[in-house]
A and B are shown apart, each in its own frame.
Chain A
């Protein structure tokens, strides 16, 4: 018909090619919107000769209905398709097993550290820490360890290029604390230490120590022995005894090695304690006068005791471990055996 320059076939084909709802919306306004094709056809109505108007209007209306119907059909097709895609991607599979989260726990060394710390803290000792990179002054000289002492050898200590070193014990904390504070004092110093040892069943190049230092007027060996006895009984059990054996450390005089009675044979002697009935647990002694002089304390006025040991050693004794390296292997079957859940 004259004036109806619109090909319905083409319109249909174009609609079928549209695969996006936004695009379809644009096409819809192009066809049936206010500026759309159909509307402009309607506007032409007055140009049409009166005798043809009825027919023209009817046809345009048919076209309009046809196009609107096609648009709606296409729209619902696209909407269905989008819905199906969304459902496919969001589908929940209730049969998939859940993500398993294991219960964490504290490492055996952390547990022992906390236990030991709580014992000393309950006796009034204050937790104090120091740097792991030390100068040879704090690690050796101030602790009355002379230049020729074998521990200062390159073979035993990790030295940094600038001459500093990785502390070989926690004792530098004693010096740093005494330098900055006035006596009396009671400190507990836990921490990581380093020695150039090849790892084997009883040695690690990195290990943990704790150290106690007590300084006051009139401190004697009996104070030391009483404190250590209490400590050993709290940690290992009321039935345990300790003994002090004479020994030597540069920073204490007199010095002792401290044994605890064997928990398996009760001190009679068995395979576990090598037949001696005793197990070595600590090094201890009365603070050397030279150490006091180095930090500006008058050794004629002040006296004190110090003691320290490796936590790994304590853990091995307490839990009867055979190889110190097990503590670092992080074999979860091993760790699980000593698990104390964190709540």
Chain B
């Protein structure tokens, strides 16, 4: 599933996190991050 960071930000405030930081927190909490795309 592809998620927009803006969309996640509507539910949780992640504005102070870089995509890479989010990648790490998600991965280490058990949610696999297959990749990050920069459109």
> A: which residues have CB within 8 A of B?
243, 245-247, 257, 259, 268-269, 273-278
Contacts and interface: CB of A to CB of B under 8 A. Distances in A.
B5 interface: no
Given A257-B32, A268-B20, A276-B23, 12 more contacts: A245-B30, A246-B28, A246-B30, A269-B20, A274-B34, A274-B35, A274-B36, A275-B37, A275-B38, A276-B33, A276-B35, A277-B23
A269 B30 contact: no
Contacts of B28: 243, 245-246
Counting contact residues on chain B (CB < 8 A from A), the size range is: 10 to 19
A277 B20 contact: yes
A206 B33 CA distance: 28
Contacts of A276: 23, 27, 33-36
A247 B28 CA distance: 10
B29 interface: yes
Nearest to A273: B35
A337 to B, nearest CB: 28
15 contacts: A243-B28, A245-B27, A245-B30, A246-B29, A247-B30, A257-B32, A268-B20, A269-B20, A273-B35, A275-B35, A276-B23, A276-B27, A276-B35, A277-B20, A278-B27
